[in-house]
Amino acid sequence: MDIVFIQGLRVYCIIGIHDWERNRPQPVLLDLEMGTDIRPASHSEDIALALDYDAISKDLCTFIKASECRLLEALAEQIAQRLQSRFGVPWLRLRLSKPDAVPEARDVGILIERGVRPEPSSTLVSGVW
């Protein structure tokens, strides 16, 4: 299995349970790892055979900006479901955080994994890969 990743995607949205959080957008940061097999795209150099991180980033920015979740947990679950259904991602690890939520902390958030992480395609033979 190979991993396509996006790190530090910053999106401003309405999120939170407090009244002040519902009145103005605040940043959320997204780090994403997506399991895939890059070999078909690497052999053909056809973007249609790749997980297009540019298209995924743009889609997520639009989606997150329009969301108005109260909890990070809800937003994370919606993002995971969207990636799996819209982009066919079989496994993902998502770190979603709100850097401005707790003034005393650099960052707070959640980390989730969804799907089944595919096993490496290599086979162990006589103790050697």
Which residue numbers are catalytic? 98
Q: Which residues contact 107 (CB under 8 A, 6 or more apart)?
A: 29, 97, 98, 99
What value, to the nearest 5°, has the Cα angle with vertex 51 and ends 47 and 55? 80
d(Cα 103, Cα 112) in Å, to the nearest integer? 24
